[in-house]
Amino acid sequence: MLAQQYASIKRDLDEKGIVFSFSGYLSEGILYSLGEALREKMALEAADGPTIRRVFSVFVEQMQNIIRYSAEKMSGTAGRAVELSAGMVTIGMERGKVFIVCGNTVRNSEVPRLKERLDHLKSLDRDGIKTYYREQLREEPDDGSRGATLGLIEIARRASDPIDYDFDAMDAERSFFCLKVRV
């Protein structure tokens, strides 16, 4: 029964082409370790440096978005200040392309602004994204974003297809936010 249950979760991940998956409390330490494993796997598959760095870059920005903006956080001191952010990250292969899907809880009040940013990015072509990056690189960070705009532009820039996003309302307060990026 136990093995059957977990085999079914694994089969579901395998069928979606998912090679790495993590769900739970994320930290910068997990970002680092998972990122190393991702790069090592790609290097073993003989991917070249620039391709590995493109995938890695999307991975880092996606993970840091969860770490900074997840609405589900735990913090306190455990010898030193610790902040953990709940979310999930999956990395897989689909039709010869790497994809990274990240998901985390967001407050409903933040949804309109996030949607607006993502829709704006989706509406831009390569040159538009480049111009937007150049502008934001020189902007002071807007209140509360801690540099999120540039991170999202970086993600869109490294993506080979337009980014995909979705929200699933959880309750009156929160929604589950998903962002899928193919590289």
Partner 1 sequence: MDSLTIPATGRTPGVSFDFVGGHLRMTGESYPDDVAGFFGPVFEALRGFLGRPDGGPVHFDMELLYFNSSSAKALMNIFQMLETVARSGRPVTVTWCVEENDDSMRELGEDFAEDLRHVVFRMREMPAGGAP
Task: Tell me the closest approach of the beta carbon of residue 70 to partner 1, in angstroms.
Answer: 16
Task: Give CA–CA dist 68/83, Å, rounded.
Answer: 10
Task: Tell me the closest approach of the beta carbon of residue 62 to partner 1, in angstroms.
Answer: 11
Task: Tell me the closest approach of the beta carbon of residue 151 to partner 1, in angstroms.
Answer: 4
Considering the complex, state which of residue 53 and residue 73 has its C-beta at the smaller distance from partner 1.
53
Considering the complex, state which of residue 66 and residue 175 has its C-beta at the smaller distance from partner 1.
66
Task: Give CA–CA dist 136/133, Å, rounded.
Answer: 5
Considering the complex, state which of residue 156 and residue 175 has its C-beta at the smaller distance from partner 1.
156
Residues forming the site for partner 1 (CB under 8 A): 28, 31-32, 36, 39, 42-43, 48-50, 52-54, 56-57, 60-61, 64, 130, 133-134, 137-138, 141, 146-147, 150-151, 153-154, 157-158
Task: Tell me the closest approach of the beta carbon of residue 8 to partner 1, in angstroms.
Answer: 35
Cα torsion 56, 61, 66, 68: sign? positive
b vs e for 66-95, b when ≥16 Cβ sit within 10 Å of the residue's Cβ? bbbbbbebeeeeeeeeeebbbbbbbbbeee
Considering the complex, state which of residue 18 and residue 129 has its C-beta at the smaller distance from partner 1.
129
How is 47-93 classified by DSSP, letter by letter?
--HHHHHHHHHHHHHHHHHHHHH-S-EEEEESSSEEEEEEEEEEEEE
Considering the complex, state which of residue 3 and residue 44 has its C-beta at the smaller distance from partner 1.
44
- In terms of residues, how long is the chain? 183
Burial (CB < 10 A; 0-12, 13-18, 19+), residue 45, is: exposed
Task: Tell me the closest approach of the beta carbon of residue 84 to partner 1, in angstroms.
Answer: 13
